Amino acid sequence: GAVVSQHPSWVICKSGTSVKIECRSLDFQATTMFWYRQFPKQSLMLMATSNEGSKATYEQGVEKDKFLINHASLTLSTLTVTSAHPEDSSFYICSAPDRGRAGGVFGPGTRLTVL
Amino acid sequence: AQSVTQPDIHITVSEGASLELRCNYSYGATPYLFWYVQSPGQGLQLLLKYFSGDTLVQGIKGFEAEFKRSQSSFNLRKPSVHWSDAAEYFCAVTMNRDDKIIFGKGTRLHILP
C-alpha cells in the first residue's frame, strides 16, 4: 500500500538553529501534503497544507516565517523550523491524500527536541 | 466551524471487558469519519472509516464503529479488549476525501490486567 516516510525520525538541536524535516510519498505522487504538530499527550493540530507548485496554506496562529514549507516535487515536502526554541519541541507528522481513498497516509512522525 | 469532540480524556477497562469510546462531530453535512490509534511515541494507524452506506463499520483489530446521524456520533466499540489495545485513540473528520483531517483531542485507553 501507499507509504509516507519522514526523515529524520528524531532530531535534537540547540536553540536558535534551524531544522529541516522531510516528508516523502513512496510509490505515489502527492500534490498536497499536510503537516501536523502534536505536543506531548495532546492531539494532532494541523499546521499547514503543502501544495506542489504553489505556496503553502497555513492554519490560523501558525507563523509562516517560522515554519517554512516547501513542496519541492510531487513526492517531497519539507518543513523547516527556523530559529527553533524549546517551545517548538514537538512531534511533527505529515500526511498525504491516499489516491482518493479518504483517510490519508500518515508518516511515522519526527520528534524534535530543542535544547 | 468544524469540530470533533471526544468527551472522555481517559478510559480504563479490564482486559476482556467491552469498550466504547465516544465521538461527536459538528458539521453541516455528514463528513468522512475516522478512528485512528496511536501507541506511545508511534505514528497513527487507521482503524476504520465511514462516509456512507451501512452505519455499522468494521475495522481492523476487532474494532467497529456505529454512525448515528441523529446524534452526530461515531462511537468506537470492541467486544473484548486486549492488553495490547492500550493506546491513544483519535476520532477524526474531513469533508472531502483528499482534504485536511481534523482530529479530536483523543482518548487514552488504559487496560487493567
Hunting for cell 500526511 — which residue is that? Answer: A95
Q: What is the pLDDT of residues B1-59, one digit of tens each?
A: 778 999 999 999 999 999 999 999 998 787 899 999 999 878 899 999 998 889 999 99
How many Å apart are CA A57 and CA A62, to the nearest integer? Answer: 10
DSSP designation for B60: G
Chain B partners within 8 Å of A101 (Cβ) = 97
Asked if A104 lies within 8 A of B101 by C-beta distance, the reply is yes
B99 near A53, Cβ under 8 Å?
no
Question: Rounded to whole angstroms, how far apart are CA atoms A5 and A95?
Answer: 9
- Residues B102, A97: C-beta atoms closer than 8 Å: no
CB proximity list for A107: less than 8 A, separation 6 or greater: A4, A5, A6, A23, A93, A94, A95, B43
Phi then psi dihedrals of residue A89, to 5 deg:
-60, 125
CA proximity to B71, closest of B55, B86, B59: B55
Longest dimension (CA), chain A: 40
Cell of B18: 467491552
Whether the link from the prior residue into A8 is cis, omega within 30° of 0, is yes
Q: Looking at residue B95, what is its pLDDT?
A: 86
The closest alpha carbon to B36, from B86, B95, B111, B103, belongs to: B103
**Could you report the per-residue pLDDT of B73-87, keeping only the tens digit for each?**
999 999 999 999 999
Amino acid letter, A36: Y
Q: Per-10-residue mean pLDDT for chain A, 115 residues long?
A: 92 97 94 93 93 93 95 94 96 88 88 97
Asked if residue A55 lies in contact with residue A70, where contact means CB atoms within 8 angstroms, the answer is no
CB contact under 8 A, A106 and B49: no
The whole-angstrom distance between B98's CA and the closest CA on chain A is 5
**Torsion of the alpha carbons at A95, A35, B66 and B27, rounded to the nearest 10:** -130
Chain B positions in Cβ-Cβ contact with residue A103 (cut-off 8 Å) = 32, 34, 46, 49, 101
Check residue A35 and give its pLDDT: 97
Cβ B49–A102 below 8 Å, yes or no?
A: yes
Q: With contact defined as beta carbons under 8 Å apart, do B7 and B75 qualify?
A: no
Which positions 83-112 of B are in contact with A (Cβ < 8 Å)? Answer: 90, 94, 96-106, 108
Interface of B with A in 13-72 (CB under 8 A): 32, 34, 41-44, 46, 49, 51
pLDDT for position A100: 67
